Amino acid sequence: MNGKIYLVGFGPGAEEHMSFKAKAAIAESDVVIGYTTYIKLVKDLLDGKEVVRKGMTEEIDRCVEAYEQAQQGKIVALISSGDIGVYGMAGPTYEVLLQAGWKPSDDIQVEIVPGSTALSTCASLVGAPLTHDFCSISLSDLLTPWPVIARRVDAAGHADFVIALYNPKSGRRTQQIVEAQKILLRYRRPDTPVAIVKSAYRRRQNIQLVRLDEMSDCDIGMLTTVLIGNSSTFIKEGLMITPRGYANKYSSLTGATKDGEQAGISLSMGLDGWYACLRQYVEDNPGLTLEKIAEYFGVVIGEVLNAIAAGESAGEHKAVRIQSEKLNDVVKSCEQWGRLRGIVRAEAGAVTELFLQAQDFQLRGDWLNIETEAFHCHVNWSKVDSAYLACRKDKSYGVNFIDNKGHLVFRLLITKQDGAFSTDKLEAYAQAWQALAEKNDD
Ligand code: SAH
């Protein structure tokens, strides 16, 4: 008889939360291999079976053992809690097998039996915290470098995901949760709800509902999963809830059309409609800079410019996109605009304003160099992907150079004389607009 390997996730621990298939796979197996604690959790199902207990750090041994036993024609169940594919043994087992030359078409079959993973079982005990986009991050730095983990925590915080932290803390790893909290507090309110669920559906089950700024002081261990709410998660009557939609919270983002939303149809703030919503917002709220609009919608400047350029105008703002092939034409046009204000924004917040003439520009290789008595400015021109002529009536007229991620590389604005824009300059700007926009059409 051919051997078989079942990779079984048995859920959180309690037998009633195990799938039929998981039980059947264990029942069918001759050998059950697992970490000592897991074996204890399924002990009632093990009568008459060969049981191989392994310690925490013997993961690869467990995979090799499973393969060797299957090669002897046995049916082997390699078991793990939750879902075996989530921070579990499914990956290492396939890696070991493939390295040993095994192929899916071989006589030894491998079947994965999925189980309820900790994030869903823990969520079920505290309410409905995962009803909107979420992600899971393991804080274990045993196999993952800390900068990678920190970057993911940061990205998840920035992107407003609900976050499930696996492996949040152990006897030796006590500071990772403190660091994660610090990173998240840059993006989330201190009173953001956090659920700390220990040993879900096991004997020592324990649940704490706390605030993000209290999180790292709480009782957290190896058997704990931490669920951190997004910006709209709330706690009511002891339940942690993440609303299904953002539209209610951000009614202003959907503008006046909110009443017109239709069931089964994307929001007016959906992919097709949101440019129009942005323009409407800009029209309804005069006095906003491009930066302020980008901040309000949580998008990059390039997207704001795309949205404005997609319509005739947006209140006092107008924009037109210039393709990358025409970047040099834009620079040429600037030469007609006289004294210019160059704006360079550092990511961390500093804004540099430089007064210059387009005649000072020198394109050398990848760099646009502007060298005057007062300053040297070097713009990495190879990063510039597109340009937008953009103006705000009576406030600013200029061009924005944007990189392929939509970030502003460099901005040039025409300058006022004696508190006003000269008609000549506005005329030259309008001409450039017409010429470049026309060329855009072909
Ligand atoms: N394969 C497992 C995860 C293994 S990683 C799954 O899908 O759930 C181990 C981590 O899972 C623990 O550190 C803890 O964060 C989480 N975890 C596993 N079982 C849990 C339980 N019953 N209650 C709370 N957290 C649990």
Residue 301 shares a structural domain with residue 371:
yes
Structural domain contains residue 257: no
Q: Which atom of ligand 1 is nearest to the CA of 170?
A: 13
Question: Any idea what the CATH number is for the domain that residue 292 is in?
Answer: 3.40.1570.10
Q: Which atom of ligand 1 is nearest to the CA of 84?
A: 1
List Cβ neighbours of 38 (8 Å cut-off, separation of 6 or more): 10, 79, 80, 81
Residue 97 shares a structural domain with residue 132:
no
pLDDT at residue 255, rounded to an integer: 47
pLDDT at residue 257, rounded to an integer: 46
CA distances from 284 to 38, 258, 276, 319 (A): 60, 15, 12, 18
- Count Cβ atoms within 10 A of the Cβ of residue 46 and give its class: 0-12 exposed, 13-18 middle, 19 or more buried: middle
Structural domain contains residue 77: yes
Structural domain contains residue 263: no
Q: Which atom of ligand 1 is nearest to the CA of 202?
A: 22
Q: Is the CB of 118 under 6 A from ligand 1?
A: yes
Residue 45 shares a structural domain with residue 134:
no
Structural domain contains residue 261: no
Mean pLDDT within 276-288: 94
Ligand 1 geometric centre to CA of 10 (Å): 11
User: Could you list the residue range(s) of the whole structural domain that residue 64 is in?
Assistant: 4-116
Q: Is the CB of 82 under 6 A from ligand 1?
A: yes
Structural domain contains residue 248: no
pLDDT higher at 65 or 86: 86
Residue 327 shares a structural domain with residue 427:
yes
Residue 27 shares a structural domain with residue 137:
no
Edge-first strand listing for the sheet containing 367-371: 361-364, 367-371, 376-380
Structural domain contains residue 389: yes
Alpha helices by DSSP H, listed for 239-312, are: 274-284, 290-297, 301-309
Mean pLDDT within 195-219: 97
Measured by CA distance, the residue closest to atom 9 of ligand 1 is 167
Residue 108 shares a structural domain with residue 128:
no
Residue 1: Cβ within 10 Å count? 7
Residue 322 shares a structural domain with residue 436:
yes
Q: Which of 17, 37, 81 to mutate to test the pocket of ligand 1 (most atoms within 8 A of CB)?
A: 81
Q: Is the CB of 116 under 6 A from ligand 1?
A: no
Residue 332 shares a structural domain with residue 204:
no
Q: Is the CB of 388 under 6 A from ligand 1?
A: no
Domain boundary among 116, 137, 170: 116
Ligand 1 geometric centre to CA of 200 (Å): 9
Measured by CA distance, the residue closest to atom 11 of ligand 1 is 166
Mean pLDDT within 376-388: 94
Question: Any idea what the CATH number is for the domain that residue 178 is in?
Answer: 3.30.950.10
Ligand 1 geometric centre to CA of 232 (Å): 25
Structural domain contains residue 435: yes
Residue 266: Cβ within 10 Å count? 12
Structural domain contains residue 321: yes
pLDDT at residue 272, rounded to an integer: 80
Residue 32 shares a structural domain with residue 81:
yes
Residue 300 shares a structural domain with residue 424:
yes
pLDDT at 410 over 70: yes
pLDDT at residue 249, rounded to an integer: 45
Sign of CA pseudo-dihedral 26, 29, 33, 36: positive
Supply φ then ψ for residue 427, to 5 degrees.
-60, -50
State the residue for tokens 């790292």.
Answer: 216
pLDDT tens figures, 24-47: 999 999 999 998 888 988 998 999
Three-state DSSP state, 5: strand
Task: Read off the amino acid at residue 28.
Answer: E
Provide the domain count of the chain: 3
CA 182 to CA 173: how far, in whole Å?
Answer: 16
pLDDT tens figures, 343-378: 999 989 899 999 999 888 998 889 999 999 999 999
Q: pLDDT grade, residue 172 (50/70/90)?
A: very high
Q: Which atom of ligand 1 is nearest to the CA of 167?
A: 13
Q: Is the CB of 13 under 6 A from ligand 1?
A: yes
Ligand 1 geometric centre to CA of 90 (Å): 15
Q: Which atom of ligand 1 is nearest to the CA of 13?
A: 22
